[in-house]
Amino acid sequence: MELSFTKNDLLRYVYKEITNSEKGAIEAALATDWNLNEQYEDILHAYKELPKATFSPSTQCISNILKYSAQSTVQV
């Protein structure tokens, strides 16, 4: 029985959001299905082109959090 995988399955594979059994099945399918492999390569290329997002709060935001924390501490 041949399994068919969707682009969503390939996307989950790229982001490592699949089970071990799915991983084995997808890798086996990629080795034999050239159309699926082409779709995978396209998705992988797009994934690598995405900028790696980094988030850092502003100084004002950190200051507000620290101020709130100092005001809400329990005095014993």
**Which is nearest to 42 in space by CA: 74, 17, 14?**
14
What count of other Cβ atoms lies within 10 Å of the Cβ of residue 26? 20
- 44 contacts 14 by C-beta, under 8 angstroms: yes
User: Is residue 17 over pLDDT 80?
Assistant: yes
Look up residue 24 and give its DSSP letter. H
Domain boundaries, the chain: 7-72
pTM for this one?
0.64
pLDDT for residue 44: 96
Cβ burial of 14 (10 Å; 0-12, 13-18, 19+) is: middle
pLDDT for residue 29: 95
pLDDT for residue 51: 85
Q: Summarize pLDDT for 21-46 with one digit per residue, the tens.
A: 999 999 999 999 999 999 999 999 99
